[in-house]
Amino acid sequence: MKDSYVLLMIGNSRLHWAWFVGTTLQEAWDTNHLSVSAVKQRIERWISGIMPAEILPSRLIALHSSDASSLLPLYLASVVPSQTQLWQTYPAAKVITLDHLPLTGVYPTLGIDRALALLGAGETIGYPVLVIDAGTALTFTGANAQQQLVGGCIIPGLRLQLQSLAGGTAALPATQLSPQLPPRWAVETSAAIESGVVYTVLAGIRDFIEDWRRQFPDTQIAVTGGDSILLMTYLQTQYPETASQLISDPHLIFWGMHSVIQGASGICTNSV
């Protein structure tokens, strides 16, 4: 199908996919990381004209199967180098790096996921902008009106904090996050762990937002990431005024990738 392409953001926990036709996001989905042999097998099938149903949606396969003469473009970005190498073996794969982004002031070790989400937010809702990404790590990343990186921070995400307590202690149990804001004053160990993690994270988010707003009163603030919906639910209960200032968009990274693709025709197919 003309102007159809796939985006792949390789995250720490999962593979994040999106399908665009021109400027329209058709669908977004997640899959688990795959082994070396599994990736090789799926890419071989893809090259032969059999699009892998395990990783691609049926609607995309149905539309593209009638035009098997050309490979579907795959644009990817990654925070997991070993996975990057696997997917680069697809002949029509093109890797997006920090060098392709129009943001200024970025430092070499800035995560491409953070940079793309920041770009995606700025291009869709405007600058200055602060992005709160609630993924495996909880990150804050901000840019000013000149599209210059101001800075940010990284802390363990909600689930990673729970996992670290269970894995790093002898007696503390594994704990799951409640779909609603938990009681602050717990009378049971699992609930106490959840309370401690959730309420300190929420207080930290509010503090970072307040400091950012003092510097950039006309800012936009966006929330994204796998736990963004849960985080917004908690914030709406605990700090409704803060929550009302936030724009939730789970696809900021894809909008950032889309912006790079539209504006940077110099992205080249990567050799492997």
The answer for residues whose C-beta is within 8 angstroms of residue 203's C-beta and 6 or more apart is none
Distances (CA, A) of 214 to 131, 150, 156, 208, 211: 16, 14, 25, 10, 5
Overall residue count recorded for the chain in this entry: 272
The answer for residues whose C-beta is within 8 angstroms of residue 228's C-beta and 6 or more apart is 132, 133, 134, 248, 250
Task: Compute the distance between CA of residue 257 and CA of residue 78 in angstroms, rounded to an integer.
Answer: 12
Task: Compute the distance between CA of residue 10 and CA of residue 102 in angstroms, rounded to an integer.
Answer: 21
> Which residues belong to the active site?
113
